[in-house]
């Protein structure tokens, strides 16, 4: 009996979106050497009547082709303009007909990677803003299983998956399915559709805890020799035999974990299942109950007169231990580990690779099934661990080759039709405390890589989104939509986050130029001072600098004690909480350093300005970011507040009302927070300067650990106190304690502009 079943691409189905403005093709499979027809019908969604003579509606395309000897066929579909009208695709072969309805023509985007784009709607909070019904009707999402495994699959097979069997396009009305759609994808699609006023479809492939290795195809690895050599150097190159071995190990681990749970639960209810217990022992490489009982008959008990255990143990006797391969499989090693297993034949190497470092697994299970899809652009978000790869440029080239071969159009003759690539920078929360600058250098290298690409490219930074917030994924989607509009639709909008592209020198001032200004540059909401910049002189030691926005398009940076600045940085710290500068489209300026010459970069001297009582940081390594107190009282009692009127510079000073203890009141900046990386080294300085105002005109004294003491004059003007560092070499502080000596029980003092010279 001949089977005439028509097989079509996974991305084509009811409620689908196909890419406007470019021709595309549909590959399928049916009976060998058979005639297949395609009919495309277009209907208006507003319900209006159209004339039968109107060529824009009704049957707008009829095609016919003959399948090959293997049943393969291809239809070439011409380009159509974007609209909210409904398309129906009807395929026929012999007596069989396959019809897909409610299809739209618009823009198609693909999201992949890890991080915020992998957070589903059900795990995020949308910003409190009304949604437009007309925009919502233009949104469609295609979201396969996050894990890459459909309900009938236990493991990702080595051979790429041909089709999804369970994934379908989702509309806003499909509320249950919509809850699993990426919140970033939703915000992106909504913001984009709100501006372009036609359908947007998003293929939502992101998978949390995935790395770039998971998305690179086997073909890309084979084609790029340098990439293959690098992956082999990492010990991660995986052929089919090794992959099958890894799958077997995964199954054994899952089975072991399941049995451990069942046996443990049984014991808690005094229900001992010897069969399961024996099976678990085998998996652990241990004896079954029967084997253990048999061995007990051979034990040599000490009570026996000829027992060998009655003798004294031999000191430092070497005991040989045999490691079981099965028990080794249950251990969780690093990215890759080798275990030598002793056998009575030869030593063997058993290597385990964590899932997130296995090449091509998500290409096989998530990318390959949507191959040949015609798209507008792609967004990639890296995982927190990707900064560990020394040759990330090779991995990026592998990813780009994979995407270029997977999606259409591959050949573009008009620049405006070329698909774009949007990158998400790594979040500062991914910091490696042993190498704290690794994340910011990763983002620096990623930005440099995007400049070399011929395709339209943009990058979104997350450095200003430090505090835990379930709306962050939506914010990212909105930002990505802004640069998508800038790349493809509105040239006046930014096509990426603003980036410093040049520096001019004017005396002791540096004038910085930026691209992607949009409607201009501004301070973040609630900020009154432009912070985050640092400059250096010929000694290559960076210090915090003053900065000012010039006419919304330039930034002037300077430091009074550096007459000949040679370089500048912005936000170049592991946790750039002061780098909140942005454009009027709400895109943050990318942190940068003007050059990569060796230098001593400015530490986080967050307490110097005395105009904030809180900052965003980590209390302990690995904690969530939170708002932390900048200063604390360590002796006596005190209330520290901001005073925006009585100050020497910046937006405020510290106004301290205190109660002494033994004539002393002490306060200090909190330097014990993990995000500050104390002890802090201040290179090339040997003095501490503090501006003080003594409103009571009483006799007082300021004492600072490691810097000595200084009289506070009895006058109603600001005075600058200078204290010499008493240590040797550069200033090194793990705490900076200020003591006010006052013979009265109560008092007050103003402190501002703490600095080192």
With a cut of 90, say whether residue 379 has pLDDT above it: yes
Higher pLDDT: 266 or 726? It is 726
The tokens 């309900």 sit on which residue? 151
315 pLDDT band (50/70/90 cuts)? very low
Q: What is the pLDDT of residues 535-583, one digit of tens each?
A: 999 999 999 999 999 999 999 999 999 999 999 999 999 999 999 999 9
The Cβ-side half-sphere exposure at 440, using a 13 Å CA radius, reads 21
pLDDT digits (tens, 9 = 90+) for 595-631: 999 999 999 998 999 999 999 999 999 899 999 999 9
CB–CB of 254/283 below 8 Å? no
**3-class secondary structure, 413:** coil
In order, the DSSP letters of 118-170 are: G-BGGGS---S----HHHHTTEEEE---TTS--TT-SS--SSPP---SS--EE
Residue 199, SS3 per DSSP: coil
Distance CA 681, CA 100 (A): 67
Is pLDDT above 70 for 407?
yes
What are the CA-CA distances from residue 456 to residues 47, 158, 483, 587, 633 (Å)?
Answer: 38, 33, 10, 18, 53
Report the sign of the C-alpha dihedral through residues 621, 623, 629, 632, in that order.
Answer: negative
Residue 130 is predicted with a pLDDT of 85
User: Quick check: 396 pLDDT over 60?
Assistant: yes
Instruction: Report residue 748: phi and psi, to 5°.
Output: -145, 160
| Mean of pLDDT values over 699-703 | 96
Does pLDDT of 415 surpass 90? no
Domains and CATH numbers, the chain: 17-219+360-488 (3.40.50.1110), 245-289+328-356 (no CATH), 503-576 (no CATH), 614-756 (2.60.120.260)
What is the average pLDDT value for the chain, to the nearest integer?
A: 88
Least confident window among 69-78, 328-337, 546-555, 650-659:
328-337
Residue position matching structure tokens 């233009």: 138
Q: What element of type H or E holds 481? A: helix 472-488
pLDDT reported for residue 584: 94
Structure confidence by residue, pLDDT tens digits, 259-294: 777 667 766 655 555 665 655 566 666 655 555 545
Q: 3-class SS at 613?
A: coil
Given a contact cutoff of 8 angstroms between Cβ atoms, the answer to whether 42 and 60 are in contact is yes
Better pLDDT: 464 or 309: 464
d(CA 403, CA 368) in angstroms, rounded, equals 10
Cα of first residue to Cα of last residue in the chain, in angstroms, is 91
pLDDT at residue 311 greater than cutoff 50: no
Query: What is the rounded CA–CA span in Å between residue 659 and residue 676?
Result: 29
- Using pLDDT thresholds of 50, 70 and 90, give the confidence band for residue 84: very high
pLDDT tens for residues 437-471?
999 999 999 999 999 998 999 999 999 999 999 99
Strand partners, 690: 721
Query: Beta-strand (E) ranges in 232-301?
Result: none
pTM: 0.88
pLDDT of residue 302: 42
Classified as helix, coil or strand, 63 is strand
Q: Mean of the pLDDT values across residues 5-18?
A: 95
Tally of CB atoms within 10 A around 563: 10
> Which of the residue ranges 278-282, 485-489, 703-707 would you say has the lowest mean pLDDT?
278-282
């Amino acid at each position: 009996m001949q089977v005439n079943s028509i097989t079509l691409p996974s991305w084509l189905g009811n409620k689908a979106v196909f890419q406007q403005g470019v021709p595309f093709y549909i590959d399928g499979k049916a009976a060998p050497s058979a005639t297949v027809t395609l009919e495309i019908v277009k209907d208006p969604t507003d319900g209006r009547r159209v004339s039968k003579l109107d060529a824009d509606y009704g049957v707008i395309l009829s095609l016919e082709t003959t399948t090959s000897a293997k049943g393969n066929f291809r239809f070439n579909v011409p380009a159509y303009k974007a609209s909210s009208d409904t398309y129906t695709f009807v395929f026929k072969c012999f007596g069989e007909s396959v019809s897909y309805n409610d299809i739209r023509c618009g823009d198609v985007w693909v999201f992949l990677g890890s991080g915020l784009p992998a957070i589903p709607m059900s795990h995020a909070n949308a910003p409190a803003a009304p949604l437009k019904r007309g925009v919502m009707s233009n949104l469609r999402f295609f979201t396969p299983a996050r894990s890459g495994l459909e309900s009938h699959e236990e493991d990702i097979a080595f051979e790429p998956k041909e089709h999804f069997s369970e994934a379908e396009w989702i509309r806003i009305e499909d509320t249950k399915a919509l809850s699993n759609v990426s919140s970033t994808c939703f915000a992106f699609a909504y913001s984009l559709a709100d501006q372009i006023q036609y359908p947007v479809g998003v293929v939502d492939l992101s998978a949390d805890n995935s790395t770039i290795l998971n998305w690179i195809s086997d073909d890309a690895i084979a084609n790029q020799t340098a990439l293959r050599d690098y992956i082999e150097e990492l010990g991660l190159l995986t052929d089919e035999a090794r992959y099958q071995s890894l799958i077997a190990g995964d199954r054994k681990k899952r089975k072991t974990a399941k049995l451990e749970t069942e046996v443990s639960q049984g014991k808690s209810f005094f229900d001992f299942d010897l069969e399961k217990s024996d099976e678990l022992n085998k998996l652990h490489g241990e004896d079954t109950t029967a084997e253990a009982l048999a061995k007990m008959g051979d034990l040599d008990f000490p009570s026996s007169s000829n027992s060998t255990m009655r003798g004294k143990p031999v000191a430092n006797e070497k005991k040989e231990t045999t490691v079981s391969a099965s028990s080794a499989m249950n251990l969780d090693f690093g990215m890759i580990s080798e275990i030598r297993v002793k056998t009575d034949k030869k030593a063997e190497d058993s290597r385990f690779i964590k899932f997130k470092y296995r090449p091509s697994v998500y290409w096989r299970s998530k990318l390959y099934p949507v191959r040949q899809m015609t798209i507008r652009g792609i967004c990639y978000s890296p995982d927190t661990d990707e900064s560990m790869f020394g040759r990330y440029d090779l991995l990026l080239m592998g990813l780009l080759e994979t995407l270029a071969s997977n999606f259409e159009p591959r050949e573009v003759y008009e620049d405006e039709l070329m698909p774009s690539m949007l990158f998400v920078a790594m979040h500062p929360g991914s910091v490696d405390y042993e190498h704290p600058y690794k994340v910011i250098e990763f983002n620096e290298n990623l930005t440099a890589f995007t400049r070399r690409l011929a395709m339209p490219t943009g990058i979104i930074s997350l450095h200003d989104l430090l505090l835990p917030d379930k709306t962050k994924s939506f914010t990212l989607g909105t930002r990505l939509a802004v640069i998508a509009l800038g790349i493809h639709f509105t040239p006046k909008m930014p096509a990426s986050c603003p980036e410093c592209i040049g520096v001019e020198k004017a005396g002791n001032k540096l004038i910085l130029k930026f691209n992607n200004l949009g409607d201009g540059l501004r301070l973040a909401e609630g900020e009154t001072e432009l912070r985050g910049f640092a400059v250096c002189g010929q000694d290559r030691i960076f210090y915090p600098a003053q900065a000012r926005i010039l006419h919304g398009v330039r930034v002037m940076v300077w430091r009074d004690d550096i007459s000949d600045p040679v370089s500048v940085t912005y936000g170049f710290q592991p946790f750039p909480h002061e780098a909140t500068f942005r454009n009027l489209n709400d895109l943050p300026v990318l942190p940068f350093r003007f050059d990569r010459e060796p230098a001593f970069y400015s530490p986080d001297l967050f307490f110097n300005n005395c105009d904030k009582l809180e900052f965003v940081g980590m209390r302990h390594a690995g904690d969530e970011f939170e708002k932390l107190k900048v200063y604390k009282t360590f002796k006596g009692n005190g209330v520290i507040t901001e005073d925006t009127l009585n100050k020497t510079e910046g937006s405020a000073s510290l106004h301290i009302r205190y109660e002494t203890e033994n004539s002393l009141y002490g306060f200090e900046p909190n330097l014990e927070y993990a995000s500050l990386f104390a002890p802090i080294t201040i290179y090339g300085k040997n003095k501490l300067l503090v501006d003080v105002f003594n409103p009571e005109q009483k006799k007082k004294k300021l004492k600072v650990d490691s810097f000595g003491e200084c009289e506070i004059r009895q006058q109603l003007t600001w005075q600058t106190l200078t204290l010499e560092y008493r240590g040797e070499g550069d200033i090194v502080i793990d705490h900076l304690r200020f003591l006010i000596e006052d013979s009265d029980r109560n008092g007050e003092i103003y402190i501002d502009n703490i600095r080192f010279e």
